[in-house]
Amino acid sequence: MYQLIGVTRLLGFYAIAVALLAVVIGERLDAGPVEWLRYISTSGTIIAGIAYILGETPLFPWLCRRRPISWVFPDIDGQWVGQMASNWPRIANRGAVEPPPLKPVEAAIRIKARFFSLHLHLITTDKYSESETIVVGIRKKESGDIVLAYLYNNLTKHPEQTDCQQHDGAGLVNIRTDGAAPTIDGVYWTNRNWAKGLNTAGTVEWRKV
């Protein structure tokens, strides 16, 4: 989630916090270089510890539900439900005069959001397959919209004849917090059975429980 403010700002905030705390705990302003190095080292350790407690524990999503933190970091930690709509019917019926509609699949997704990390775990309602993210990125566009991009690995224990046990995929979705409940919507694509030309794509829509 720190990506929403950027590494440069994050380092700047850290340096300012360390410097201010060093002044507070310093015994005297005319201390020598060795003493100031000790103050700065102690301050850095304290600030890092506070950052870990606030950012890498359940305290972080709790803070994201409260202002002013929620203005910067959206409350996305928790359970989401919705569906994925795959273009598989159109792949299976190539050449059809009227392409069939997308195939909706109900799915639940668990998002673990911390200050320094993001993780998504998706399971389809029928338990046919599940996916876990490998890499996740989040950023805020100039318009103010928040975009989530991710790479994931999918496991299907008992695939259908035209399917495969494992594949990788990616998604690019928007996080919307202006409604009664946060929602996520966007697109995804996979390399599912790509050697046979059966790789799929589609849309996703989730709402926070």
pTM (global) more than 0.75: yes
pLDDT for position 3? 92
With H, G, I as helix, E, B as strand and everything else as coil, classify residue 133.
strand
Cβ atoms of residues 175 and 76 within 8 Å: yes
Cβ atoms of residues 22 and 37 within 8 Å: no
* Domain boundaries defined on the chain: 2-55, 78-208
Alpha helices in the chain (DSSP H): 7-25, 33-55, 59-64, 69-72, 88-92
Q: Is the pLDDT of residue 27 over 70?
A: no
Percent of all residues in the chain with a pLDDT value above 90, rounded to a whole number: 57
Model confidence pLDDT, tens digit, residues 76-116: 999 999 999 999 888 878 777 788 888 899 999 999 999 99
Distance CA 25, CA 27 (A): 6
Model confidence pLDDT, tens digit, residues 122-156: 999 888 899 999 999 999 888 778 999 999 999 98
Q: Which residues, 6+ apart, have CB-to-CB distance to 53 below 8 Å?
A: 59
Q: Is the pLDDT of residue 161 over 80?
A: no
